[in-house]
Structure 1
């Protein structure tokens, strides 16, 4: 069998050797970009809601169900209300929370609790409900002097709001007895006559609101000056509870009620993953986008009515709608493909310069198989020249065996056809050096014979 290997059309081994380090570098950098530039969304978030049986708690369950359909577990954390939710957000104890507008103590962006927080938008108006027990009669806020009014714990934000209302009416804090019971025990106290009134802020879908609006002996306070309050306190709006909205057949309520209402907002830590921001805003659109007692179709959620800066991702959602990929595929697949754009950009940035390096490196590896034998040939020639210079050409006899060994090894080289000229050139040069060696040896032999034939 011939020792000369067949020529190949393409050297896959050399291609792998030439591109292997480059591929590893690209893969490592792309993986680094995939992990660091846009990490995978967490599968678990904590949402601070409100008190037991509050509208915030009921809404929290809806959000948990909405995100649960995408494999995101939402842990609901009860709280006293907006003030406590802001504190927990700032301390990093929760990722997202319901917060009532106006909870920043009137200092807006100067409130240190708002640092590193962003708003995902306003969800709905959250009227201030002031229920009074009959036979208490109060047509204006100043008529509450001397009464026992439960405003809830400080963490709810309602005590701060109600004190602002009292201050606008020129009522000193000691002229009204303000209680700090939570909503449920406060309601029980109102029903058993322990207090004269109950103040809280909540959406109309809250069970407590629905129950108190239909409880005999409990009357809703009518804020006749609601528009004035909305002008004096910018975070409030004037809303109207229409006559008969609770029960048209029984005409409940029997009149229109004017109410003042802050808005409920969804506030998150600034580090919340953009993909989760999209999910929460999309859930908010599904949950709050319909009509209600105080809103029209599509009025909420909105990036308006919040003193906390709106998240850039949320603002983009309100402007353009959900991300394109999420409209046609699952959340996780859309997020994966969206993140892959980062990898594609990194890959393109690397391929452009590296594409100029790999082809020459491949060519060098192929040609180096041939070129390295030229060093052996040069060594043979140097030894031949040294033998000639020393006047002992017979020392070159061993060089023929060296050349035969070199040629045998060269004949075993596997090389692509495109580079065959280099291999044939090497073999011709081996033969050239062999002829030189033979010539030197022949000349030496002739000189020796002539010397022997010369007369003594």
Structure 2
């Protein structure tokens, strides 16, 4: 091995040994911060949706596709509807869920364990009735009040959908007791079959317009949509409801469906999550909600949703940030996982740098000490030889050999060029001690000769 290479390797070794403790401390603090902050989200998340062919299922598939692009698997958990979704969140079987406002009673501890990512879309209360039933019961084609459902066979949806709870509140406000309306609680598909077959007079859905059942019934001959003339009054009485209007011809302009504006009431559906759900997952869902729900629809203009109005639960900071702020700059240019890691770790990195920078000042002195110690440790031996020369003249020959051995050891020392002056100073001091030893030895020989 050449002398230059050996010198380089020794310098690197000294540098690593000097900076090693600081580097070990930095790595240890980073590992501790990573474990504490847990910046990497889990690869799977469970989203409670709703019945088959519902708007919840359709939106669930869109979220599933969007998050798959980020390497996150979204497992869709079918349910009976809004109330069932809320219970799935409480039981920990789902991480996120679609829940419709006003369709379920919140428990006292829900605000402590659940958060909202904002209101995503409106879900009108679709009350379809058969024209034949309206003629039979009221001798008129069109109905405009919930009181006109008296005596009809009405399906209000399954218990888990939350629609029965909502309809109980609305019928009670109209002073209709439970016996005044013959209510059934079938799921959407069998209820629709019975309705079209004439075994039911009316159907009640609470769903977004994207529902296939709604799309089909709106264009079915002999089926009409209840026009709620008092829709403004319902919104005043029930804070979770909003008055909406289905514009004339919005379903099909060519065939003019519906043939006139239809007044309706609607609640808003929120995306709820357990507060223990990983923040990065909440960020992904909240950001994708901006893309999936910001388009204009039958009941809203562009960018009206998502929003934070009339939320029954606390808004998660991730949802609030996605609604009120643009996408962070790092996420525009970096993959989400990297941008999320930097975003969640930057404060820790700043604190770490503020701590380690002062400590790093000890590295140069420590490195200097290690290099100089390779030279200075031989001065002890040199002083020992010099003291022996002065105190024990009879050992001069032995000390001369010890000095030669010391010089041979010093010849093997390798130091960086910046410290070469100290190495040559040691060699010069060895030479001075040798001259002193030789003079003493010459003087002794001259004295002995006389």
TM-score normalised by L of structure 1: 0.87
- The answer to whether residue 260 in structure 2 is matched with residue 263 in structure 1 is no
- The answer to whether residue 14 in structure 2 is matched with residue 14 in structure 1 is yes
CA RMSD of aligned residues (A): 2.9
- For 2:80, the equivalent position in structure 1 comes to 80
Matched residue SS, 2:380: helix
How far is the alpha carbon of 1:327 from its aligned partner?
A: 2.4
Q: Which is worse superposed, 400-409 or 128-137?
A: 128-137
CA distance in 1: counterparts of 2:347 and 2:31, whole angstroms? 10
CA contact (8 A) 1:4 1:413 kept: no
CA contact (8 A) 2:118 2:319 kept: yes
CA contact (8 A) 1:278 1:322 kept: no
- The answer to whether residue 245 in structure 2 is matched with residue 248 in structure 1 is no
Number of residue pairs aligned between Structure 1 and Structure 2 = 441
How far is the alpha carbon of 1:446 from its aligned partner?
A: 6.2
How far is the alpha carbon of 1:136 from its aligned partner?
A: 2.7
Q: Which is worse superposed, 126-135 or 321-330?
A: 321-330
CA distance in 2: counterparts of 1:232 and 1:381, whole angstroms? 106
CA contact (8 A) 2:104 2:162 kept: no
In structure 2, relative to structure 1, the CA distance for the partners of 1:309 and 1:364 (3 Å cut) is same
CA distance in 2: counterparts of 1:131 and 1:72, whole angstroms? 39
Q: Which is worse superposed, 375-384 or 73-82?
A: 375-384
CA contact (8 A) 2:39 2:341 kept: no
Q: Which is worse superposed, 375-384 or 186-195?
A: 375-384
CA distance in 2: counterparts of 1:417 and 1:361, whole angstroms? 18
How far is the alpha carbon of 1:312 from its aligned partner?
A: 0.8
CA distance in 1: counterparts of 2:380 and 2:90, whole angstroms? 72
| Structure 2 unmatched ranges of 5 or more | 135-142
Question: Which digits, 9 at most, give the CA deviation of each residue in 1:220-256, with x for residues without a partner?
Answer: 2222111111111101000011222222332322222
Q: Which is worse superposed, 364-373 or 245-254?
A: 245-254
CA distance in 2: counterparts of 1:382 and 1:4, whole angstroms? 36
How far is the alpha carbon of 1:124 from its aligned partner?
A: 1.1
- For 1:348, the equivalent position in structure 2 comes to 353
CA contact (8 A) 2:239 2:310 kept: no
Question: Which digits, 9 at most, give the CA deviation of each residue in 1:19-49, with x for residues without a partner?
Answer: 2332333234334434542522333222111
CA contact (8 A) 1:87 1:113 kept: no
CA distance in 2: counterparts of 1:104 and 1:64, whole angstroms? 26
How far is the alpha carbon of 1:267 from its aligned partner?
A: 1.2
Matched residue SS, 2:121: strand
- The answer to whether residue 122 in structure 2 is matched with residue 117 in structure 1 is no
How far is the alpha carbon of 1:192 from its aligned partner?
A: 2.1
Matched residue SS, 2:239: coil
How far is the alpha carbon of 1:57 from its aligned partner?
A: 0.6
CA contact (8 A) 2:290 2:322 kept: no
Matches within 5 A, 1:407-422: 407-422=407-422
CA distance in 1: counterparts of 2:345 and 2:5, whole angstroms? 45
- The answer to whether residue 141 in structure 2 is matched with residue 144 in structure 1 is no
CA contact (8 A) 1:317 1:323 kept: no
CA distance in 1: counterparts of 2:113 and 2:384, whole angstroms? 73
CA distance in 2: counterparts of 1:113 and 1:90, whole angstroms? 8
How far is the alpha carbon of 1:193 from its aligned partner?
A: 2.7
CA contact (8 A) 2:47 2:94 kept: yes
Matched residue SS, 2:378: helix
| Structure 1 unmatched ranges of 5 or more | 451-456
